[in-house]
Amino acid sequence: MTSMTLPHPSSDPAAQPARPVPRWTPGPWASRIGRFLAYSFLAVVLGAVGFSLVITLLAAGIGTVVVWIGLPILVGGVLVARGFASAERALQSVVLGHHLPTPLPKRSPAGAGWMRRTVTPLTDPQRWLDSLWVLVNFLLSLITFPLALAWVLGAIGTVGGPLATLILENVLPADDRSAFADLLGFTGPLALTIDITLQVVVGLLFLLTVGPVTRGLATLHRSVGRGLLSSRYEEQQLLVRAEESRAAGRSAESNALRRLERDLHDGPQQRLVRASMDLARVEALAAKDPERAQQVLRETREQLGSTLDELRRLSRGIAPPILVDRGLPAALQELAAISPLLTRVEVPELDLPEHVEIGLYYVASEALTNAAKHSGATEVVVEVARIGEDVRVRIQDDGRGGAELRIGGGLAGLAGRVASLEGRLDVRSPAGHGTRIEAVIPCGS
């Protein structure tokens, strides 16, 4: 079996099994709360140190930049901020389980001098975002850690408050006791009952909300970290995918042109040369041997018919006029009509961009050609469906299977064509169980 997945993955909800709803258990609940308390405490400590160092260095650098000594101080400040940002990424990953990817740093141009290399960090937007994060995260930690700690202590008060009240009731003299019930005018056993009841109610309020509160505070830290420390990583990945898509498109087009040139040279061109030579023989035989000339003409006509059939086959990977004039369903129906295999097409009327329709047509055409040549199948099914913002084409045959992605092969060229549209291609071909080729292409690619 061969499987290949390309950039821009998208999911098919119908193909995914339903996930069981997790059952609440106190162990993981308490562990999450404890991890956030540990994280927020470390964030306060690291934030205080980072804030002191970074703000001091940046302030000193800005104040002395006019005499040039400030430049290396500024560079030192942003590099220190980068170190604390790296520590935050590791802390969130290890303690909270939040992954914050690291953006690629800005590189100095090739051949740059030492001065240019020295000040390059100052021209990197991410270094200044790191510095801003040091300030924002420290101020945020000063709020979230005391809040989380107070909520946890309030939750502990569900048990600890009544227990402490009972102990004090038996230890302190009656005249030294002071309780909320006394303020309401209650005395005696009723006052003790009211105090314990109020403590349990307030403690339960904290206990029932401590989980959502700490989860919300953790989400706040993750959002701030992702926005300031990792947002440029996502932009860089979009740029990388776009460059890879363009490179894949250029490679696919180049391979397709070379393949078409080779096929034209080995097939129709040779037949046309043969037909030209045969026509020259007919001219020479027309007067001397008319019967032989007629025979050569019949052979030439057969050669030209074979050439026409081969040209039609080679043009199947190029968008035909029917695709432009009548749309994708009609074009796929035409492919099914000329296929030597029994082909069933299931495609609804979809409003798709032209380049997406051409890509789907190309995938179906190449897959049907491969099935006719190599699969030994008796039937092929072509299905097109819309999946959210994407569109999927699936070609399934009942042949022998065993299809492989080989460099220079038809499936490799197909993978490059799909990648150029920022889509993904999946090929599953277990031996003896047919071949399924599935391409998912974003409609906004």
Residue 373 token pair: 């040549």
pLDDT at site 166:
55
| 415 pLDDT tier (thresholds 50, 70, 90) | confident
Q: What is the pLDDT of residue 359?
A: 86
pLDDT surpassing 60 at residue 287:
yes
pLDDT digits (tens, 9 = 90+) for 361-397: 888 988 888 888 888 888 999 999 998 889 999 999 9
Residue 17 pLDDT more than 60? Answer: no
Residue 5 confidence (pLDDT): 41
Tell how strand 390-397 and strand 424-428 pair up.
Answer: unpaired
Q: Average the pLDDT over 244-248 and give the result.
A: 65
C-alpha–C-alpha distance, residues 329 and 342, integer Å: 17
* Mean local confidence (pLDDT), 9-18: 43
Pairing of strands 390-397, 342-346: unpaired
Poorest-pLDDT segment among 143-147, 167-171, 437-441: 167-171
Q: What one-character DSSP code corresponds to residue 94?
A: I
Residue-wise pLDDT for 69-83, tens only, equals 888 899 899 999 999
DSSP string for residues in 220-240: HHHHHHIIIIIHHHHHHHHHH
CA 393 from centroid of its chain's CA atoms: 20
Rg, the chain, Cα only: 37
Confidence bin at 356 (pLDDT 50/70/90): confident
Computed from CA positions of residues 86, 89, 92, 93, in that sequence, does the dihedral angle turn out positive or negative?
A: negative
CA distance linking residue 326 with residue 362, whole number of Å: 16
Looking at 179-188, 196-205, 302-311, 419-428, which range is the least confident one? 179-188
Number of helices and strands (H, E) in the chain? 13, 5
Between 168 and 432, name the one with better pLDDT: 432
What is the rounded distance in angstroms from the CA atom of residue 437 to the CA atom of residue 395? 5
pLDDT at 400 over 90: no
Residues 6 or more apart from 120 whose CB is under 8 A from it?
106, 107, 108, 112
Alpha carbon distances (Å) from 364 to 21, 39, 297, 323, 370: 39, 53, 38, 13, 10
- pLDDT at res. 350: 87
C-alpha 266/C-alpha 259 separation (Å) is 10
Q: Label residue 186 by pLDDT band (50, 70, 90).
A: low
108 vs 98, residue with greater confidence: 98
Q: What are the Cα distances from residue 22, in Å, to 25, 28, 375?
A: 9, 11, 44
If you average pLDDT over residues 50-65, what whole number do you get? 89
Cβ(160)–Cβ(259) below 8 Å: no
| Domain extents in the chain | 26-241, 268-314, 318-442
Taking CA atoms, 206 is separated from 23, 150, 157, 230, in Å, by: 22, 9, 8, 34
> How many percent of the chain have pLDDT more than 90?
22
pLDDT (tens digit, 9 = 90+) per residue, 117-140? 888 888 888 899 999 999 999 999
Cβ(88)–Cβ(46) below 8 Å? yes
d(CA 57, CA 73): 6
What mean pLDDT do residues 216-234 have?
89
What is the maximum span of the chain, computed from C-alpha positions, in angstroms?
143
- Alpha-carbon distance of 347 to 363, in angstroms, equals 14
For residue 8, is pLDDT > 50?
A: no
Q: Which range, 56-65, 78-87, 148-157, 304-313, is most confident?
A: 78-87
Phi, psi of 274, deg, nearest 5 = -60, -45
Q: pLDDT of 155-174, one tens digit each? A: 776 665 566 555 555 554 44
* CA nearest neighbour of 336 among 375, 367, 359, 309: 367
The CATH T-level fold of domain 318-442 is Heat Shock Protein 90 (3.30.565)
Amino acid at 354: E
Q: What is the pTM of this model?
A: 0.52
